[in-house]
Structure 1
Amino acid sequence: MLNVARGRVALGLAAFAAPRLTVKVMGLGKDSDAGRDYVTRMFAAREIALGAGYLLSRGHARRTWARLGLVVDGLDTVNGLRSRPGLPLWVSAGAVGIAGGTAALGAAKVTRDLVS
């Protein structure tokens, strides 16, 4: 989970600094779009907050951050599945694969915390 949290912070910082490049790499557009850049920075802020919250916390607070990350990743997975008809297959598959994989890691962490 530490690496997931570090990845969140890194992705968030990159997306915040270069939203146009982020959406281009993700296959979500090429041209400038102020609204899309704004929403990308909102996503970036969320990722930074989730990653930093986990990294800076300990004990019960860290378990809470893991649960919050699981909820967000689960919702991102559902959103990716629901967005499939309007996006190219490789974009949807990538988004669902990343969010779903991170959700699976989060679920394993939360489950382990609950039984410990």
Structure 2
Amino acid sequence: MNPVTGISLGRIAIGAVSLYDPTLAAKQLMLDPRANPQVPYVTRLFGTREIALGLATLLASGSARRNLVLLGVLVDAADAATGYLATKDGSAPVKAGQGMTAVASGAVVGGLLGLRGRGKKA
């Protein structure tokens, strides 16, 4: 499977879980919704973004698809940086921040590989 397709489907799946059961999604991200009751709200925002980006990428073609993949790489790089910063400022447990950084960094690599391997057909 093309890495871009895999990442797009993964975005949709993660987004759907985040919308349907934000508490479960937060726990999977090793966040504590009991300690911070705003976590489900933010998790739903994240889920909506993921579904929109995943669907738009799957439905696009040509340069529009390439641009959406590049946008996804930028979003994932920002997510990786956010996970890293969360471990440094204590806003998330170290293990949670490291996990989020690792997953987001993997998505960056997958997106870049998809662009590299498929040229403008990403």
TM value normalised by structure 2 = 0.84
Unaligned runs of 5+ in 1: none
Query: Quick check: 1:39 aligned with 2:42?
Result: yes
Q: Indicate if the aligned counterparts of 1:81 and 1:92 stay in contact, CA closer than 8 A.
A: yes
Alignment of 1:2-17 (within 5 A): 2-17=5-20
Sequence identity percentage? 32
Alignment of 1:1-116 (within 5 A): 1-31=4-34, 34-85=37-88, 86=90, 87-112=92-117, 113=119
Unaligned runs of 5+ in 2: none
Cα RMSD (Å): 1.7
Moved over 4 A (4+): none
Residues in 1 aligned to 2:99 and 2:15: alpha-carbon distance in whole angstroms: 17
Residues in 2 aligned to 1:33 and 1:76: alpha-carbon distance in whole angstroms: 20
Residues in 2 aligned to 1:33 and 1:18: alpha-carbon distance in whole angstroms: 16
Q: Indicate if the aligned counterparts of 1:20 and 1:32 stay in contact, CA closer than 8 A.
A: no
TM value normalised by structure 1 = 0.88
